[in-house]
Chain A
Amino acid sequence: MITAENVTKWFGPLLAVDDVSFQVERGEVLGFLGPNGAGKSTTMRVITGFIPASGGTVKVGGFDIDDDPLEAKALIGYLPENAPAYPEMTVEGFLKFAAELRGLRGVARAEAVERAIRTCFLERVRHQMVDTLSKGYLHRTCFAQAILHDPPVLILDEPTDGLDPNQKYEMRELIKEMGKEKAIIVSTHILEEVEAICTRVIIVDRGKLVFNGTPGELKSKSRTAGNLRVRVLGVPTQDVVARLRQADGVKGVDVLDETAGVLCRLAGKPDPSLIAQVVVGAGWKLGELAVETGRLDDVFREITISDTVAEVAQ
């Protein structure tokens, strides 16, 4: 549905997007991660046809965004980063206006506006002026504008920014639900969100694409992925540590907790069944045994850390 090929964007001497390529199909929710200034919003602006790329091509539903901009744009719903809306209009007036620009008239327009108001919980503010809206409601109004025409492609730049926890939850559920038949790109700084809603993740760092895969694959790149957590009950801590340190594949033992038995983390990705045998073989009681899946924020930091390091080095 969305194909970006070698997209490059220069702002004067600044290379904001550097040769980025990826694809998003229907049924996919693509999480777009990266540190501040990495080029996420710029890439989204190129895809939506707001700014022309310096190089590369973008196709939406088979239409080139440069050659057939109107056909491509008709397929896209876009929530820009700062959720702009006309301040002197009411929420309802603004949505009607947007629906009209989307080619909806009469009954179709009224239905689309009602549906969007219901979906985004805007009933309470429908007659309120946009410039008096709170940040979260403004965000929801602009999001409502993006889904008016039920587009097959959604580009959402930080859609949960400024929403309260309940609304964040609703928004994630909505994105997950819509992701079943649409192609969606979501940028975010909230890593749990990626795990909750995205089927695929890409990470950009200083304009370059540095990761493209599933959230699971991303997590497995974590240094802590594959480590074991094991809890042994009723045995002194030093005995447990001494015994486990000698087990095959264990590169280190950290004691995490001593309140209910001993909870240790075994580094070096040892074999869980082997560790279970060791514990049981020693005649100890095994309270818990788990394989750590890795943490997204660890991986994110590892992949994009070069940024800060490079700045310090300069």
Chain B
Amino acid sequence: MRSCRNTWTLTKRELASYFASPVAYVFIIIFLLLSGSFTFMLGQFFPRGESSLAPFLMWHPWLYLFLVPAAGMRLWAEERRSGTFELLFTMPISPTQAILGKFLAGWLFLGIALLLTTPIVGTVEYLGAPDWGVMRCGYLGSFLTAGTFLAITSMTSAMTRNQVISFIVSVVICLLLILAGWPPITNLILEWAPWNWLVEAASGFSVMTHFDNLQRGLIDVRDLLYFASVMVFALFGTGVILKSRRSA
């Protein structure tokens, strides 16, 4: 109970600090502009004539690739730069509460940005009779992908005081997670060398494989487990890194 309250206290503070700076508004505007233009230009939303969110949601992992590290790079880097790190870790709270509290704030923030895209659902409904289950599932996939990338950014942001380095490293890691299962890449590898098992194993690690399943409206425990385990792993990594930062 006490631990939940501590976590929530931290989440509230962190979330408020997002909105205290113009970065939050810039982020939301860029996210909305990009997801809109990708949908209508690259995604061919109207010419498809389908009543589905696919041309909208399919771009999200690619948007998150840059936007989530940008939103999350300050999580720990800023805390260490300003010295409040020392304050936080001499308070009677556990490292887990601190890491979780800050992560949840970032995830909630991304969730708010995602919620602001819901007017597009109205457009889809105007075009025809969409499948609500598939749409909900698609949004869930998008939200989980954002959380996964954010957990990775939390880890890279704990590594360094420098936000730029933290940004670049997390973009690279997230890109690997995308590419490992992205058909254009996997097909290329298959053409070049017929190692089916390798490609399959790699795409099991990819966000795209699991994201696509959810986009098709399939809720499979294995997909959910994938997102959960990457997040837990990255947050655990954050804890290990923060601990080593404190002792040196």
Bound-state CA distance A234–B94 (Å) is 74
- Tell me, rounded to whole Å, the shortest Cβ–Cβ distance linking B186 to chain A: 44
- Over the window 17-61 of chain A, the binary record of Cβ atoms lying under 8 Å from chain B Cβ atoms (1 yes, 0 no) is 000000000000000000000000000010011111000000000
Residues A73 and B83 in contact in the complex (CB < 8 Å), given A12-B248, A88-B17, A88-B21: no
Bound-state CA distance A228–B94 (Å) is 58
**B6 touches which of A85, A88, A101 (Cβ 8 Å):** A101
For residue A246, CB closer than 8 A to chain B, the reply is no
Which of A73, A88, A97 has most chain B Cβ within 10 Å? Answer: A88
For residue A49, which residue of chain B has the nearest CB? B90
Cβ-defined contact, B246 with A51, below 8 A: yes
Restricting to B35-66, which residues have a CB under 8 Å from any CB of A?
A: none
**A70 touches which of B10, B21, B93 (Cβ 8 Å):** B93
Cβ-defined contact, A50 with B89, below 8 A: yes
**B17 touches which of A76, A89, A98 (Cβ 8 Å):** A89
Q: Which range holds the interface residue count of chain A?
A: 20 to 34
Contact partners of A69 in chain B: CB under 8 A: 92, 94
Restricting to B58-87, which residues have a CB under 8 Å from any CB of A?
A: 82-87
Contact partners of B16 in chain A: CB under 8 A: 89
- Tell me, rounded to whole Å, the shortest Cβ–Cβ distance linking B135 to chain A: 36
For residue A157, which residue of chain B has the nearest CB? B86
**B9 touches which of A51, A85, A100 (Cβ 8 Å):** A100
Bound-state CA distance A69–B89 (Å) is 10
Bound-state CA distance A11–B247 (Å) is 8
For residue A137, CB closer than 8 A to chain B, the reply is no
For residue A88, which residue of chain B has the nearest CB? B20
For residue A126, CB closer than 8 A to chain B, the reply is no
Cβ-defined contact, B92 with A80, below 8 A: no
Residues A85 and B90 in contact in the complex (CB < 8 Å), given A12-B248, A97-B13, A101-B6: no
Bound-state CA distance A98–B248 (Å) is 26
Residues A80 and B82 in contact in the complex (CB < 8 Å), given A50-B246, A88-B17, A101-B9: no
Which of B16, B20, B87 has most chain A Cβ within 10 Å? Answer: B87
For residue A71, which residue of chain B has the nearest CB? B92
For residue A84, CB closer than 8 A to chain B, the reply is yes
Contact partners of A50 in chain B: CB under 8 A: 86, 89-90, 246
Bound-state CA distance A85–B88 (Å) is 10
- Over the window 62-93 of chain A, the binary record of Cβ atoms lying under 8 Å from chain B Cβ atoms (1 yes, 0 no) is 00000001110110101010101111110000
For residue A102, CB closer than 8 A to chain B, the reply is yes
Bound-state CA distance A74–B9 (Å) is 16
Please tell me the number of chain B residues within 8 Å of chain A, measured between CB atoms: 25
For residue A106, CB closer than 8 A to chain B, the reply is no
For residue B222, CB closer than 8 A to chain A, the reply is no
Bound-state CA distance A43–B6 (Å) is 27
Cβ-defined contact, B87 with A80, below 8 A: yes
For residue B129, CB closer than 8 A to chain A, the reply is no
Residues A84 and B90 in contact in the complex (CB < 8 Å), given A11-B248, A52-B246, A100-B9: no
Cβ-defined contact, A103 with B13, below 8 A: no
Cβ-defined contact, B94 with A97, below 8 A: no
Cβ-defined contact, B89 with A49, below 8 A: yes
For residue A145, CB closer than 8 A to chain B, the reply is yes
**B84 touches which of A45, A74, A84 (Cβ 8 Å):** A84
- Tell me, rounded to whole Å, the shortest Cβ–Cβ distance linking A95 to chain B: 12
**A85 touches which of B85, B87, B92 (Cβ 8 Å):** B87
**A73 touches which of B2, B86, B90, B247 (Cβ 8 Å):** B90
For residue B91, which residue of chain A has the nearest CB? A101
For residue B3, which residue of chain A has the nearest CB? A70
Contact partners of B6 in chain A: CB under 8 A: 101
Contact partners of B5 in chain A: CB under 8 A: 100
- Over the window 16-28 of chain B, the binary record of Cβ atoms lying under 8 Å from chain A Cβ atoms (1 yes, 0 no) is 1100110000000
Cβ-defined contact, A84 with B87, below 8 A: yes
Cβ-defined contact, B86 with A84, below 8 A: yes
- Tell me, rounded to whole Å, the shortest Cβ–Cβ distance linking A257 to chain B: 49
- Tell me, rounded to whole Å, the shortest Cβ–Cβ distance linking A175 to chain B: 19
- Tell me, rounded to whole Å, the shortest Cβ–Cβ distance linking B236 to chain A: 18
- Tell me, rounded to whole Å, the shortest Cβ–Cβ distance linking B85 to chain A: 8
- Tell me, rounded to whole Å, the shortest Cβ–Cβ distance linking A4 to chain B: 16
Bound-state CA distance A69–B5 (Å) is 18
**A86 touches which of B84, B91, B94 (Cβ 8 Å):** B84
Cβ-defined contact, B90 with A86, below 8 A: no
Bound-state CA distance A154–B248 (Å) is 24
- Tell me, rounded to whole Å, the shortest Cβ–Cβ distance linking B106 to chain A: 15
- Tell me, rounded to whole Å, the shortest Cβ–Cβ distance linking B98 to chain A: 10
Residues A86 and B92 in contact in the complex (CB < 8 Å), given A50-B246, A51-B246, A145-B87: no
Contact partners of A51 in chain B: CB under 8 A: 246-247
Contact partners of B20 in chain A: CB under 8 A: 88-89
Q: Give 7 new A-B contacts, CB below 8 A, not counting A49-B89, A73-B92.
A: A71-B92, A85-B84, A86-B13, A88-B17, A89-B13, A89-B17, A98-B91
Residues of A within 8 A of B (CB): 11-12, 45, 48-52, 69-71, 73-74, 76, 78, 80, 82, 84-89, 97-98, 100-103, 142, 145
7 A-B pairs with least C-beta separation: A84-B83, A74-B92, A88-B20, A73-B92, A48-B90, A100-B9, A101-B91
